[in-house]
Amino acid sequence: MPAHLRDADIERIARGLTDRTLPKSDWTHAAHFAAALWLLRERGLSACLQEMPGLIRAYNEATGVPNTDSGGYHATITVASLRAGNAWLAARAHLPLSAALGELLGGDYGRSDWPLAYWSKASLFSVAARRGWVDPDLRPLPF
């Protein structure tokens, strides 16, 4: 998936997640944030925090990815990513979604391991963090 996506690409990804038609090979780190930013702009943070767990679990099941204590949906990463995306969008409300996403992916959040700046591996990849929110154990989130 290209690093720079057009607004139409971002919407296609988000709708593909919600209706479970996005090819599994397209569900990349960039696609996670593309869907998150689109849904945040469309529905807001509160709705996304409520809806995203079910959306991701259903998408995983539709693409053959089991949601277990060691794979599939990860609550802490999802919540942290939604909060990061929401803060990112708030500071860039004047930009088209494609520009905001491009900037996000060009920075620290563009790295799939960005949460490891805030959580130790043991904490982030624990069963507790996969099942629900676990506060960062290395340093607080900046948003």
Dump pLDDT digits (tens) for 91-117: 999 999 999 999 999 999 999 999 999
Residue 134 lies in a domain: no
- 142 has a pLDDT exceeding 80: yes
Residue 85 lies in a domain: yes
Residue 21 lies in a domain: yes
* Per-residue model confidence (pLDDT) at position 3: 53
Number of separate domains in the chain: 1
Q: How far is it, in rounded angstroms, from Cα 34 to Cα 46?
A: 18
This prediction has a pTM of 0.95
Average of per-residue pLDDT across 22-27: 97
Residue 125 lies in a domain: no
Residue 42 lies in a domain: yes
- At a CB cut-off of 8 Å and minimum separation 6, what does 65 contact? 24, 71, 72
* Per-residue model confidence (pLDDT) at position 120: 98
DSSP reduced 3-state for 117 = helix
- 2 has a pLDDT exceeding 70: no
- 65 has a pLDDT exceeding 90: yes
Dig out the tokens for 69 from the structure. 């204590």
Residue 2 lies in a domain: no
Residue 126 lies in a domain: no
Cα distance from N-terminal residue to C-terminal residue, the chain: 27
Domain region containing 92? 7-112
Residue 49 lies in a domain: yes
